[in-house]
Amino acid sequence: MTLSVPSDSRARPSFLAEQSNLIGLAAIILLFWVLFTSLAPGFVSTFNLFALSRSLAVDVVIGFSTMVVLATGGMNLAIGSIGVCAVMASGYLMQTLGLPIPVAMALALLLGAFLGWLNGFVIVRSGVNSFIITLASASLFLGGMLILSKAQTFNALPPEIAAFGRMRWGFLSPLLFVALGLGAALIVLFRFTALGREILAAGANARAAELSGVPVGRAIIIAHTLSGALAASAGLMLVFRLGAAMPSIGQDWLLPSFLAPVLGGTLLAGGYVSVVGTILGAFLVTTIRSGLLVMQIGNFWLQLFLGLILLAAVMLDRYRSVYAERRSLGRRDSGRRNSGRRA
């Protein structure tokens, strides 16, 4: 008991530590903005800001898609595949069947939600790790889509689609406001609803949550369903942006989808999410991508940079969880913790 004194004094700034993570992230973003603006004045042109806001919208939503599953302590490697399935479904419904845009979009979102539900259902029923299940389903969904669509692009969509994609509110795309609206809804979910709390509880300690009466299986399935719907939303945003439904969409989502939440402080181990952090994380990714583009530095460098940043973010996450664990270890283990600190 005597040894716990230092741990108590360290325990206090946890709230500040969380905020300082976001402030630090914002500072890094600002740094890149200053850097890119000084190196390439075109970076802050209204044209580029518009393009940036459109791709930010997509990055934010795919970040959310991964975040809601990270909340349960799992992952979803199938978000790209689910996204492209929704994309191709919307193309088929609009171009081939000629359904009205809102109906086609709603059905595509439903398809995404269904594919996510399927992931969740299989994970809960089989008890197999979500990594393996979604790795398999990623390939399954993608393969199924390619067979059905014969990898044909739907590029004769109603003209309203591309028009909406080009629409500007000020110098920003309305898509960005859609993304931020989804973010607001997720904040409500995780902060103010029983369901959101249950998802986080299941992620932090599934067994304890279960014995406290939380329907853990249901929470996991819902999180995956939501993840599927969000992946579909991201895909549909790309349909608006490109004015076409292309089978290549979604293939490069995996890295940024992890980058955004992890940079933003969402714990890989589950039980804690940061919606604002995910938005900032996505903002950093988009900033770097756009900056390198404006400076005409090739895509190869982008990959290298993003890889480096994810690695750094994961290191940070690891440090954070070790730190959190040390703080949370009870007084019982004070002796052991001391040895850890000295090692």
How many residues touch other proteins under the rule CB under 8 A: the total is: 46
**Distance between CA atoms of 107 and 339, rounded to whole angstroms?**
57
Sequence-separated (6 or more) residues with CB below 8 Å from residue 216: 198, 202, 206, 209, 210
Please identify which residue in 98, 102, 194, 298 interacts with other proteins, judged by CB under 8 A. 194
Q: Where in 227-246 is the site for other proteins (CB under 8 A)?
A: none
82 binds other proteins (CB under 8 A): no
Q: Where in 48-67 is the site for other proteins (CB under 8 A)?
A: none
The DSSP symbol for 14 reads H
In sequence order, what are the beta bridge partners of 154? Answer: 245
299 binds other proteins (CB under 8 A): no
**Distance between CA atoms of 2 and 189, rounded to whole angstroms?**
41
Please identify which residue in 200, 254, 259, 313 interacts with other proteins, judged by CB under 8 A. 200
298 binds other proteins (CB under 8 A): no
State whether the Cα torsion 193-194-199-204 is positive or negative: positive
Q: Contact letters (x/-) for other proteins, 136-175, by CB under 8 A?
A: ----------------------------------------
DSSP states of 68-136 as a string?
A: HHHTTT---TTHHHHHHHHHHHHHIIIIIS---HHHHHHHHHHHHHHHHHHHHHHHHHH---HHHHHHH
Please identify which residue in 26, 51, 205, 255 interacts with other proteins, judged by CB under 8 A. 205
Q: Which is nearer to other proteins, 160 or 325 (CB)?
A: 325
214 binds other proteins (CB under 8 A): yes
Residue carrying structure tokens 């991508």: 289
Task: Provide the 3-class DSSP secondary structure of residue 241.
Answer: helix
Cα→Cα distances 338→178, 317, 324, Å: 49, 22, 15
CA nearest neighbour of 60 among 243, 249, 279, 267: 279
Please identify which residue in 140, 146, 204, 255 interacts with other proteins, judged by CB under 8 A. 204
Span near other proteins by CB under 8 A; candidates 26-34, 153-161, 288-296, 325-333: 325-333
129 binds other proteins (CB under 8 A): no
Q: Which is nearer to other proteins, 307 or 340 (CB)?
A: 340
251 binds other proteins (CB under 8 A): no
66: amino acid identity, one letter: T
Please identify which residue in 69, 70, 161, 198 interacts with other proteins, judged by CB under 8 A. 198
State whether the Cα torsion 168-255-313-188 is positive or negative: positive
Please identify which residue in 127, 207, 298, 300 interacts with other proteins, judged by CB under 8 A. 207
Please identify which residue in 271, 277, 281, 291 interacts with other proteins, judged by CB under 8 A. 271
Q: Which is nearer to other proteins, 147 or 343 (CB)?
A: 343
306: amino acid identity, one letter: L
Return residues touching other proteins (CB under 8 A): 1-9, 11, 14, 188, 192-195, 197-198, 200-201, 204-205, 207-215, 271-272, 324, 327-332, 334-336, 338-339, 342
